[in-house]
């Protein structure tokens, strides 16, 4: 696969995950506090049925994508971006399994529902998970902008390299369009000085 395309796909996926994590942070988990115990467990059960498709699968793809970028990344990719992107994903998944995933499992078995201390723990610490997902997306965005900026400069250099030469009647020679002394880019004073020097030598 083209490494630049891989980076762009990871960027798009990262911002999808930013949307889902912020939905959990500002709405879903905080809305659970408003539910009574029986309603809470029905809502959480419905939430868990949808979770594998719109949260867990994209999150797993993001982890595999960050691993793939360790080997397949565009030329000129900054080393700090490659390592930071992978570190964000690694920390995110370790903490999800060890901390938030375990609390979610215990919360689903707690008869207290929205009054459970596990929900309180999730609400008080979930900002860390949100920051890791958002930070990963930000790193990929800066990384992609840098690569696209380098590509634009390379294309501009290529255009200048293959620019056609222009005939300068005053000096009776071809001038490269990139030359600082082309007819349209060189001051008339410099052209006149160069002509005078030529006459002296003649």
Give DSSP secondary structure letters for 7-43: HHHHHHHHHHHHHHHHHIIIIIHHHHTTS-HHHHHHH
Q: What backbone phi and psi angles, to 5 degrees, belong to 179?
A: -65, 140
Residue 193, both tokens:
């000085």
- Flag whether pLDDT at 23 surpasses 80: yes
- Flag whether pLDDT at 14 surpasses 50: yes
Per-residue confidence band for 183, with pLDDT thresholds at 50, 70 and 90:
very low
* Residue where the block lists tokens 């998944």: 93
Q: What is the pTM of this model?
A: 0.74
The answer to whether residues 92 and 136 touch, using CB atoms and an 8 Å cutoff, is yes
- The per-residue pLDDT for range 184-201, each reduced to its tens digit, is 444 454 445 445 544 554
More confident call, 9 vs 189: 9
Can you give the residue ranges of every domain in the chain?
3-160, 165-201
To the nearest whole number, what is the mean pLDDT of the chain? 83
Per-residue confidence band for 119, with pLDDT thresholds at 50, 70 and 90:
very high
- Flag whether pLDDT at 125 surpasses 90: yes
pLDDT for residue 191: 44
Q: How far apart are CA 69 and CA 182, in angstroms?
A: 45
Q: How far apart are CA 94 and CA 90, in angstroms?
A: 6
Average pLDDT over residues 50-65: 94
- Flag whether pLDDT at 165 surpasses 90: no
Nearest CA among 197, 88, 98 for reference residue 140:
88
Of 49-63, 85-99, 112-126, 180-194, the range with the lowest mean pLDDT is 180-194
Q: How far apart are CA 119 and CA 125, in angstroms?
A: 10
**Pure H helices in 52-176:** 57-71, 79-95, 101-109, 117-161
Q: What backbone phi and psi angles, to 5 degrees, belong to 110?
A: -85, 120
The answer to whether residues 188 and 171 touch, using CB atoms and an 8 Å cutoff, is no
- The per-residue pLDDT for range 70-114, each reduced to its tens digit, is 999 999 999 999 999 999 999 999 999 999 999 999 999 999 999
Alpha carbon of 132 to those of 56, 103, 195: distances in Å?
A: 15, 18, 65
């Amino acid at each position: 696969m083209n490494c630049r395309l891989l980076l762009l796909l990871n960027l798009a996926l990262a911002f999808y995950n930013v949307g889902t994590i912020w939905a959990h942070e500002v709405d879903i988990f905080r809305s659970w506090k408003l539910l009574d115990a029986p309603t809470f467990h029905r809502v959480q059960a419905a939430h868990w049925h949808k979770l594998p498709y719109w949260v867990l699968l994209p999150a797993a793809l993001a982890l595999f994508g960050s691993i793939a970028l360790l080997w397949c990344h565009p030329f000129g990719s900054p080393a700090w971006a490659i390592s930071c992107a992978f570190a964000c994903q690694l920390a995110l998944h370790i903490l999800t399994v060890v901390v938030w995933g375990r609390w979610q499992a215990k919360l689903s078995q707690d008869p207290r529902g929205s009054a459970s201390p596990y929900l309180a723990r999730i609400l008080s610490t979930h900002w860390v998970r949100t920051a890791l997902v958002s930070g990963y997306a930000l790193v990929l965005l800066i990384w992609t902008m840098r690569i696209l900026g380098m590509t634009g400069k390379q294309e501009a250099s290529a255009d200048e390299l293959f620019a056609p030469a222009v005939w300068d009647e005053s000096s009776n020679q071809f001038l490269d369009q990139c030359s600082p002394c082309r007819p349209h880019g060189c001051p008339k004073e410099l052209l006149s000085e160069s002509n005078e020097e030529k006459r002296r030598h003649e």
